[in-house]
A = this chain, B = another copy of it.
């Protein structure tokens, strides 16, 4: 149960020091106790919360979504419908993003393949950018 400095918490959680302070500032993390010299001193249990946030951020959840998820975690007797809804919404976002990135990928591949490595006036990269009609799938 020994206390941890912010630097140690950063190392163990993988969340950077200024980011931890930022999370505290926006109320995502409650303010820890302080040492005599006014330095933040964390409980080991704070690391769980930090890991939770980090993981959720890696999965692309927005801060406000994470705020809700943390509140749910704090009150385990609530129904988990909201958590489910947040995750489902995120899944749909990700699926859409993948679809649109796949379209972009196809477009970029055509551009790059079509580049004859000559001069700009024969370059398909520039040409396609200048004329959307030359896209393979012009509906992006």
Interface residues of A (CB under 8 A from B): 48, 51-52, 55-56, 58-60, 69, 72-73, 75-81, 83-84, 86-88, 90-91, 94-95, 97-98, 101-102, 104-105, 107-109, 111-112, 115, 117-123, 125-126, 128-132, 140
Query: In the assembled complex, which residues on chain B have CB atoms less than 8 Å from the CB atom of A48?
Result: 130
- The answer to whether B77 touches A119 (Cβ under 8 A) is yes
Q: Which of B69, B88, B115 contacts A80 (CB 8 A)?
A: B115
* Minimum Cβ distance to chain B for residue A65 (Å): 11
Query: In the assembled complex, which residues on chain B have CB atoms less than 8 Å from the CB atom of A122?
Result: 80
Known contacts A130-B51, A130-B73; is A108 also within 8 Å of B120 by CB? no
Q: 10 A-B residue contacts at CB 8 Å?
A: A51-B131, A52-B130, A58-B140, A73-B129, A83-B115, A83-B125, A84-B125, A94-B105, A97-B101, A98-B101
